[in-house]
Structure 1
Amino acid sequence: MSKIIYTLTDEAPRLATYSFLPIIEAYAAKAGVDVETRDISLAGRILAQFPDRLTAEQFTPDALAELGELAEEPEGNIIKLPNISASVPQLKAAIAELRSQGFDLPDYPDEPSTDDEKDVRARYDRVKGSAVNPVLRQGNSDRRAPASVKAYAKKHPHRMGAWSSDSKTEVVTMGVDDFRSSEKSTIVPSDGTVSIEFFGDDGTHTVLRPSVAVKEGEVIDATAMRVGPLREFLKAQMAAAQEKGVLFSVHLKATMMKVSDPIIFGHVIRAYFDDVFEKYGADLAAAGLNPNDGLGAILSGLDALPNGAEIRAAFDEGLKTGPELAMVDSDKGITNLHVPSDVIVDASMPAMIRTSGHMWGADGQEHDTLAVIPDSSYAGIYQATIADCKANGAFDPTTMGTVPNVGLMAQAAEEYGSHDKTFQAPGTGEIRVLAADGSTLLEHQVQTGDIWRMCQTKDAAIRDWVKLAVTRARATGAPAVFWLDETRAHDATLIGLVKQYLGDYDTDGLTLEILSPVEAIEYSLERIRRGEDTISVTGNVLRDYLTDLFPIMELGTSAKMLSIVPLLNGGGLFETGAGGSAPKHVQQLVNEDYLRWDSLGEFLALAASFEHLAVSTDNARAQILADTLDRATATFLDENKSPSRSVGSIDNRGSHYYLALYWAQELAAQSADSSLAADFASLAAALSDGEETITAELIAPQGHPVDIGGYYRPDDAKASAVMRPSATLNEALAAL
């Protein structure tokens, strides 16, 4: 039997799965396709790290490790929903919830000292940040807006805020003493290992990482951010925001860059509340209140301190006298600095650009903003977009072109694979990357506290990336632009390899360019304003940033993108979109029994998964399921059956019903397999005839709080009951 693995993840996508998965299972079974689930949620990943502390009934297998192995097999077919890339506050909250549910988990040790604490910390660190994607993404990324989605966006454009040429909004970045400017790069000459070691000016020697496996031809980079200049830069930008009368905001990636960016976030908080930390820093440190966890975590822990009220008053005074902060939730007083995972650059910057360059102030109104992105590697793309909007006004979704992406991410490529090779300098001296023979490959002078990291990019991944770029350019006829900057060390190395590997392909008639990120985005923006399409061919981080930036401008959301990862060994990984708004959706469900999550990404990924399965297993019925699901999705969009925003109308559950109806109708009408058509004819009739009853059953429970048994680990029975309230729909699916 053909098999699809459907992942169980977190928050709104997890809740939507309780409703949508029974539909998938029922339809897939008719094509001989078995749908299995694997729990890669944050809670599931935590529990899998502590089998020695769980009872037999509580045992949770390491599903992520299992799927990592499957991703390297030709038969791998995985549908991956958005998951939590946990910051430390999220991790601690999940641990607390699991303990309340009876799981004997240890506390997260902020500063482990004993061997046991170090072991616990190491286990939890395997769960933090981008723990999932580097394991599953054993291929490069092909992300694009499907034709049906793009057509719908042009017919039903989302709202774009107007731009003024005198807007004060801008992006500021360091440009010197940061990761980009300090980067060094080299190509590994042969298979082997390297070590990462610190040599102090005082004669000390510390092995930071004794052995890192490397392969012949892979690109390795190392770089450092200088924390002294970082603090000076932050203080200067805070003063500038106050002088200009604009909001101050910082935009980082404290989830995916789970080691470096929380440290940078902590420096932002220290710089903003400089006087508070000068006076009370020792008290906060003694209480384990770390600015890297965010202002919210500090404030919530003050009640336990003897002088907590005094310190809280000092923070309040700092907020009054400092530059006005951009807000995450004005009504609740949650600032840009409260939680490191609240303001993620790839989601927050496009949202700002879509909203006239504004963020929300404490007064509940929109304001121009000074957007601080400390590292200059990619900050320029946002400033260039803002400059374009100031000059030309907001983009028009009814006429603009599209910018699909081919992303280099296989085998933990580039920055997103750097977590286990990122360190704070333990003193003044040098950090060196040493070959097995002791020779120095890369080295940096560092001061105490500087943030140093090493990245790896496998040659096989680079070759596949170039191949995928040529393939997509040939398939679409659109220009393909490699976003690489010859003045940046890593990019300069890649430019040489790209030029070499392009020689392996017939590129006659194709437009293939290599431009710096700022040049590339200016080129792409000019084309999309003319309604023309341009393929962006980028590294891992830019893949992440651009597949939010352009879809949010084009479609209103990045959740409607088709994301295919052709795995290097022949399998397929199909991702279902972004999850940035998932927490708010869960809150609304718990409060009002209404889930606004849009599962369109799941529909798109499922069709691509069936199509891949049809080819790889010669399953004709799987191809029929793929084709009919594509047509059903187009009808779903034309009939505007996505969840609306308010109680009393169809929500996520209603959208699943209509997708099931349109899909059954397409299957009943197709002529390629009369037996399959007959199977679905009765279901199509039942769903159509029962429309009034089913929608009433889906809407009736709304408007009241519900209990799903947990945020990070819902109770399956409770959550299923909430998400499947229509007996008529459930019975029709069971009859199939």
Structure 2
Amino acid sequence: MARIIYTHTDEAPLLATYSLLPIVEAYAATAGVELETRDISVAARILALFPDHLTPEQRVDDALAELGQLATTPEANIIKLPNVSASIPQLKAAVAELQSQGYALPDYPDNPATDEERAVRARYDKVKGSAVNPVLREGNSDRRAPASVKNYAKVHPHRMGTWSPDSRTRVATMGAGDFFSNERSVVVPSDDTLTITHVAADGTRTVLKDGLTVLAGEVVDSTFMSAAALRTFLAEQVEAAREEGVLFSVHLKATMMKVSDPILFGHVVEVFFPALFETYGEQLAAAGISANDGLGALLAAVDTLPDGEAIRAAVTQGLADGPALAMVDSDKGITNLHVPSDVIIDASMPAMIRGGGKMWGPDGAEADTLAVIPDSSYAGVYAAAIEDCRVNGALDPATMGSVPNVGLMAKAAEEYGSHDKTFEIAADGTVELTDSSGTVLLSHDVQAGDIWRACQTKDASIRDWVKLAVTRARATGSPAVFWLDAERAHDANLITKVRTYLADHDTAGLTLEIMDPATACTFSLERARRGEDTISVTGNVLRDYNTDLFPILELGTSAKMLSVVPLMNGGGLFETGAGGSAPKHVQQLVKENYLRWDSLGEFFALAASFEHLATTTGNTRAQVLADTLDRATGTFLNEDKSPTRRLGGIDNRGSHFYLALYWAQELAAQQVDADLAAAFAPLAASLTENEQTIVAELVGVQGSPADIGGYYRPDPVKADAVMRPSATLNAALAAL
């Protein structure tokens, strides 16, 4: 029996799975396709790392490691839903919940002092940040808006904020002393093993990492962020926001960049509250309270300290003295600096640009904003988008073109694979990257507190990326632009390789360009305003940024994207959009039994997965499922059956019912497989006849609290009961 692996992840996508998966399992079984699940949620990944702390009944398999192996095989067919890229506060919350459920996990050690604590910390570190995607992404990314979604957005354009030519919103970035300006890069000539060593000013040598394997032709980079330069820059921006009368906001990615960006975030918190940390910094540090965890964690912990009341007063005074902070939730007083994982750049910046360049202030009103993006590697992209909107006004979703993406991400390429090679420097000195002969390939003079990192990009990944770019340009006829900056050391090496590998392909009649990211952004927006499409061919971080920026402007959300990862060994990974895992949706479900998560991305991934299965195995019924699901999704969009925005309308569960209805109708009407049509005719009739009854059963549960038995690890029985409240629908599926 052919199989598709469907991942259990976290938060809203996990809850939606309890409703959607039984429908898909029932339909797929008619084609001899089995859907197997693998739990790669943050809770499951934690439990998999601590079998020695659990009873035999509590132990779970390491599903992520299993899927990582599967992704290297031609048989792989994996549907991957959004997961939590855990920040430290999220990790701690998950551990606390699991402990309350009876799992004897150790506490997360903030400041490990013993070998045992360091070993525990090392295990937990494997769960933080982008622990999932680098394991599964054994291929490069092809992410685009399906035609049905794009057409729907043109007919039903989402609301865009109004841009004023007098807008004071802008981006502030360093340009000196940052990762971009300090980067050095080398192409290693042969397979080797590298070592990273810190050489202190007194000559003491400390190996930071050894056994770093590289392959011939691999691009290896190293760089650092100067802590002194960063703090000077941040202080200047705090003052600039105050003088200009705009909101102060910082935009990082403390989830994916799980080592570097929490440290950067901590510097922002400390610089914004200078008096607080000058007076109480030592007391806070002694109590294990770190600015890296955000203002919210600090305020939650200070009441246990002797000077807790004074510290809280110092925070209040700091807020009064500084510029107005951009807010995550002004009603609850949650600021841009409360939680490092609350303001994620690839979601926060596009939302600001879509909203007319404004963020919410502490007074509950929208205002122009100083967007602080410390590293200048990609800040210019957002600056270019802001300038385009300031000059030309808001984009029009009804007429604008699309900017699909081909992303270099295979084998943990670039910055997203740097976590195990990122270090906060303990003492002044030099960091050296040496080969097995002891030759220094790259080195930097550093100071205590600087953040140093190395990145790798495999040559095979680059070759495949160039091939995919040519393939998509040929398939669409759209220009493909490589977003690479010749002034950046890493990109300069990639430009050489791109030009070399393009010669391996037939590029006649294709438009293939290389532009620096800011120029490429402006070029793509100019074309989009004319209704023209432009493929962005980017590295890994820009893949992440662009597949939120442009879809949020084009479609109002990035959750409706088709995301295909053609795995390098022939398998397929199908990601369900870039919409995050929607913690607020879970909170609403628990409070009101209403889940607003939109599963459209899952629908697209399933159709692509069935099609891949048909192509690779010759299963013709799988192709029928793919084709009918695609048509059903078009009807779903035209009939506007996505979750409504308020109680009393259909939510995620209702949208799943309508997909089941339209899919069954398409299967019953199709003429490719008569037996399959006959099998679905009774179900299509039953769902059509009982539409109002099923909707009433789904909507009728709304308005009261829902018990799912846990946030990070819900109780499966309780979650199933909450997410499948229609006895009529359940019975119809069982009959199939």
Q: Deviations over 1:93-137 (max 9, x none)?
A: 000000000000000001111111011000000000000000000
Structure-1 separation of matches of 2:279 and 2:516: 45
Q: What does residue 16 of structure 1 align with?
A: 16
- Specify the SS of the correspondent of 1:323: coil
Structure-2 separation of matches of 1:678 and 1:39: 35
- Specify the SS of the correspondent of 2:491: helix
Matched, 1:618 2:618: yes
How far 1:581 sits from its partner (Å)? Answer: 6.2
Q: What does residue 605 of structure 1 align with?
A: 605
Please give the residue correspondences for 1:700-715 in structure 2 after superposition, counting only pairs within 5 Å: 700-715=700-715
Structure-2 separation of matches of 1:647 and 1:101: 31
Q: What does residue 165 of structure 1 align with?
A: 165
Structure-2 separation of matches of 1:363 and 1:280: 28
Matched, 1:564 2:564: yes
Partner AA of 1:623 in structure 2:
Q
- Specify the SS of the correspondent of 1:331: helix
* Contact 1:653 1:724 survives alignment (8 Å): yes
Matched, 1:183 2:183: yes
RMSD: 0.5
Q: What does residue 477 of structure 2 align with?
A: 477
Q: Deviations over 1:300-350 (max 9, x none)?
A: 001111111111111111111111100000000000000000000000000
* Contact 1:223 1:452 survives alignment (8 Å): yes
Partner AA of 1:227 in structure 2:
A
Matched, 1:666 2:666: yes
Structure-1 separation of matches of 2:109 and 2:215: 35
Partner AA of 2:558 in structure 1:
S
Q: What does residue 348 of structure 2 align with?
A: 348
Matched, 1:238 2:238: yes
- Specify the SS of the correspondent of 1:505: coil
* Contact 2:215 2:458 survives alignment (8 Å): yes
Structure-1 separation of matches of 2:493 and 2:227: 27
Matched, 1:651 2:676: no
Q: What does residue 148 of structure 1 align with?
A: 148
Q: What does residue 136 of structure 2 align with?
A: 136
Q: Deviations over 1:13-43 (max 9, x none)?
A: 0000000000010000000001000000000
Please give the residue correspondences for 1:270-669 in structure 2 after superposition, counting only pairs within 5 Å: 270-580=270-580, 582-669=582-669
TM-score by length of 1: 1.00
- Specify the SS of the correspondent of 1:328: strand
How far 1:44 sits from its partner (Å)? Answer: 0.5
* Contact 1:414 1:455 survives alignment (8 Å): yes
Structure-2 separation of matches of 1:449 and 1:363: 36
How far 1:203 sits from its partner (Å)? Answer: 1.6
Q: What does residue 58 of structure 1 align with?
A: 58
Q: What does residue 123 of structure 1 align with?
A: 123
Please give the residue correspondences for 1:672-711 in structure 2 after superposition, counting only pairs within 5 Å: 672-711=672-711
Q: Deviations over 1:263-315 (max 9, x none)?
A: 00000001011111111011100110000011100110011111111111111
**Higher alpha-carbon deviation: 574-583 or 214-223:** 574-583
Q: What does residue 94 of structure 1 align with?
A: 94
Structure-1 separation of matches of 2:210 and 2:575: 35
How far 1:578 sits from its partner (Å)? Answer: 2.4
Structure-2 separation of matches of 1:76 and 1:510: 32
Q: What does residue 106 of structure 1 align with?
A: 106
Q: What does residue 723 of structure 2 align with?
A: 723
Structure-2 separation of matches of 1:581 and 1:69: 25
* Contact 2:557 2:579 survives alignment (8 Å): no
Identity %: 72
Q: Which runs of 4+ in 1 moved over 2 A?
A: 578-581
How far 1:57 sits from its partner (Å)? Answer: 1.2
Partner AA of 1:167 in structure 2:
S
Structure-1 separation of matches of 2:425 and 2:712: 35
Partner AA of 2:149 in structure 1:
V
Structure-1 separation of matches of 2:529 and 2:649: 35
Structure-1 separation of matches of 2:229 and 2:222: 19
Q: Deviations over 1:463-510 (max 9, x none)?
A: 000000000000000000000000000000000000000000010000
- Specify the SS of the correspondent of 2:332: coil
Partner AA of 1:595 in structure 2:
L
* Contact 1:13 1:579 survives alignment (8 Å): no
* Contact 1:71 1:571 survives alignment (8 Å): yes
Count of aligned pairs between the two proteins: 736
- Specify the SS of the correspondent of 1:253: coil
Partner AA of 1:13 in structure 2:
P
TM-score by length of 2: 1.00
- Specify the SS of the correspondent of 2:78: strand
Taking a change above 3 Å as real, the CA distance of residues 579 and 103 of structure 1, as seen in their structure-2 partners, is: farther
Structure-2 separation of matches of 1:734 and 1:580: 32
Structure-2 separation of matches of 1:452 and 1:73: 35
Structure 2 unmatched runs, 5+? none
- Specify the SS of the correspondent of 2:107: coil
Structure 1 unmatched runs, 5+? none
Structure-2 separation of matches of 1:327 and 1:447: 33
* Contact 2:466 2:501 survives alignment (8 Å): yes
